[in-house]
Homo-oligomer: A and B are copies of this chain.
């Protein structure tokens, strides 16, 4: 009368937690583009006085077409203000997000460097890692740096 071919053994990692983690990761990826764009726009504006489509394309490693379409979405979502053939401006909301991202980015890079990781590797890894760092983890990184 063996009930199940599929043994009822408890899995190594509970399915529910893994599913929740992966869904969170997907949510983070959904906001990642916005974060990288507003950060780049803030950086470029600080460095050049303005952010242009072609600058963003070079900075982000994509074509100007991709930048254009993404900017349309970011405008729709209220992060930027775009007018044809004009420089790109952050809204208040965009500026707030950019500041948060710049702050978090700096902490992640500094933390990785503090572990002895070469500057360049730290910068490359941080660009991906930053979007998956929860407030608790960011705090832990900052705590570690303070020591």
A9 cross-chain contacts in B, Cβ below 8 A: 47-48
Query: Are B11 and A43 in contact, with the CB atoms below 8 A?
Result: yes
A116 CA / B147 CA spacing, docked (Å) = 14
- Chain B's closest residue to A46 (CB) is B12
A5 CA / B49 CA spacing, docked (Å) = 9
Which of A53-61, A69-77, A78-86, A88-96 touches B? Answer: A53-61
Cβ proximity bits A1-41 to B, threshold 8 Å, 1 near / 0 not:
00001110111110101111111110011000000100010
Interface residues of A, CB < 8 Å — how many?
60
Q: Give the distance to chain B from A15, nearest Cβ to Cβ, in Å.
A: 5
Contact of A134 among B5, B55, B58, B121 (CB under 8 A): B121
A46 CA / B12 CA spacing, docked (Å) = 8
A residues sitting closer than 8 Å to B (CB atoms) are 5-7, 9-13, 15, 17-25, 28-29, 36, 40, 43-44, 46-50, 52, 55, 58-61, 112, 115-118, 120-129, 131-134, 136-137, 140-141, 143-144
